[in-house]
Amino acid sequence: MFFRLESPAYGSDYKDTFINGGGKYAYSLPGIECSECGNTWGGWETVPYPCPETMKGDKRLQQHWPIPDTEHHALRAAVLDAVVAEGHSVNNIPMGANFQPLHVRFPSTPRSDFLWPVIGSAIVSPRVKLLFETHGVTGVTFCEVVIDKVGKRDSRGPFPFPSTGEPEDIIEEVSGEQFPDRFGPLYEMVITSESGFPPGVSSSDVCTGCTRENYKENKRRIVLTQEMIPNSDVFTLATTLYIIVNERVQHMIVENRLTNAVLTSMPIESNGKKPAWLRFFSRC
Ligand SMILES: [Zn+2]
């Protein structure tokens, strides 16, 4: 049995922002304008290493603004060389790599074991890191985040309404603690393993120019089959930002009462047949 690990539904974007805050990567690969498939798009995949020192002056890595494909390929190759030169054993830089570290800002004291300031990524307490490392959980690595702000509020209390009405402005409007990093350390749980493609998707559906999956939306199915499952305890579901964990990790999360996460079962489909939809749900 496998489970999707995600943030709980808070019923309000204000409450979500109040608990989870927001985050930004200072350096990311920009979007790409692909001349082969005609799409302009940006990938999104966090990598467990920093932007190389020699590339930090390159404005294209700070602005996210899409650039033409030939330029993108050259930039990606230059980044790869620089990452390798800094001693990381990497043979490919993802199209939309987000480099370490993530900078986070919270309007209230971060108390939960899991925090969700950015889409597709979990920030965890030292307790989660220690637990996963002690049990040798595979498919993840932990990178310390930079805590830029912690607001003087209790995340269990009522959230303030921002003057602009925009949930993210809660973070700006609350007054901050003088030394936010004393609320750390906190870690980004970077997922290093990915599932295979869902059935019906073949390599001909992937653009050779930019690796975008151009299959029709009706082919895009959120399923898990035996063939898709990689050899790791945690992985992302290909073509999505879903974080999937196996039963071992699910038990660890539930038994230790780790907070601020939801686990929903992802039944395994076989021979195109849907399994009996056994929905197992735990909220911590
Ligand atoms: Zn393309």
**Mean pLDDT throughout 35-61?**
94
Tell me what the pLDDT averaged over the chain comes to.
91
235 and 247 co-located in one domain: yes
Q: Are residues 164 and 239 in the same domain?
A: no
| Ligand 1 ion: nearby residues, β-carbon < 5 Å | 34, 36-37, 207, 209-210, 212
Beta-carbon-side half-sphere exposure of residue 61 (alpha carbons within 13 Å): 21
Task: Kindly state the average pLDDT of the residues 65-77.
Answer: 96
Confidence at residue 174, expressed as pLDDT on a 0 to 100 scale: 94
Q: How far is the CA of 24 from the centre of ligand 1 (A)?
A: 26
Q: Who has greater pLDDT, 87 or 204?
A: 87
Pair (60, 32) in one structural domain: yes
Structural domain harbouring 253: 203-283
CA pair distance 234, 90, nearest whole angstrom:
20
In this structure, the answer to whether residues 252 and 270 fall within a common structural domain is yes
Residue 2 in any domain: the answer is no
In whole angstroms, what is the distance from residue 24 CA to residue 105 CA? 9
Q: Are 150 and 222 found together in one domain? A: no
Q: Please tell me the distance between residue 64's alpha carbon and the centre of ligand 1 in angstroms.
A: 18
Mean pLDDT of 123-143: 98
Q: Are 114 and 121 in contact (CB under 8 A)?
A: no
Give domain status of residue 135, yes or no: yes
Instruction: Give pLDDT, residue 266.
Output: 87
Same domain, 187 and 217: no
Contact between 104 and 186 (Cβ < 8 Å): yes
Q: Note whether residue 174 is domain-resident.
A: yes
Q: How far is the CA of 43 from the centre of ligand 1 (A)?
A: 12
Closest CA to 263 of 233, 237, 284: 284
The pLDDT assigned to 6 comes to: 95
One domain for residues 114 and 92: no
For β-strands 146-150 and 122-124, DSSP reports them as unpaired
Residue 31's pLDDT band (boundaries 50, 70, 90)?
A: very high
CA 67 – ligand 1 centroid, Å: 13
Which residue, 105, 132, 125, 99, is CA-closest to 117? 105
Of the chain, the percentage scoring pLDDT greater than 70 comes to: 92
* 16-28 pLDDT per residue, tens: 999 999 999 999 9
pLDDT of 186 above 90: yes
Band of the pLDDT at 284, cuts 50, 70, 90?
very low
Confidence band, pLDDT 50/70/90 cuts, at residue 141 = very high
Residue 121 lies in a domain: yes
User: DSSP alpha helices (H): ranges in the chain?
Assistant: 13-20, 60-63, 69-85, 126-134, 169-173, 247-255
Residue range 271-283, pLDDT digits in tens: 666 655 455 555 5
Cα–Cα–Cα angle for 127, 130, 136, rounded to 5 degrees:
140
**Whether 72 and 207 share a structural domain:** no
Rounded Cα distance, 194 and 169, in Å: 34
Q: Calculate how far, in angstroms, residue 69's C-alpha sits from the geometric centre of ligand 1.
A: 8
Tens digit of pLDDT for each residue in 187-245?
A: 999 999 999 888 777 667 788 889 887 765 555 667 889 989 999 999 999 888 899 99
CA distance linking residue 22 with residue 77, whole number of Å: 30
Residue 230 lies in a domain: yes
**Same domain, yes or no, for 171 and 42?**
no
- Distance separating alpha carbons of residues 215 and 167, to the nearest angstrom: 35
- Cβ(187)–Cβ(145) under 8 Å? yes
Whether 17 and 120 map to the same domain: the answer is yes
214 C-alpha to ligand 1 centroid (Å): 8
- Among 166, 191, 216, the domain-final residue is 191
Q: Is residue 6 part of a domain?
A: no
- 244 alpha carbon – ligand 1 mean position (Å): 28
| Distance in angstroms (rounded) separating the CA atoms of residues 67 and 89 | 27
Count H helices and E strands in the chain, helices first.
Answer: 6, 19
187-191 and 140-144 strand pairing: antiparallel
Q: Are strands 187-191 and 122-124 parallel, antiparallel or unpaired?
A: antiparallel
Helix (H) or strand (E) holding 24: strand 22-25
Report pLDDT for 34.
Answer: 94
76-85, 127-136, 162-171, 217-226: segment of lowest average pLDDT: 217-226
Calculate mean pLDDT across residues 7-23.
Answer: 95
Q: How many domains does the chain have?
A: 3
The tokens for 56 are 């930090």
111 CB neighbour count, 10 Å cutoff: 15
Mark which of 98, 116, 140 sits at the end of a domain: 98
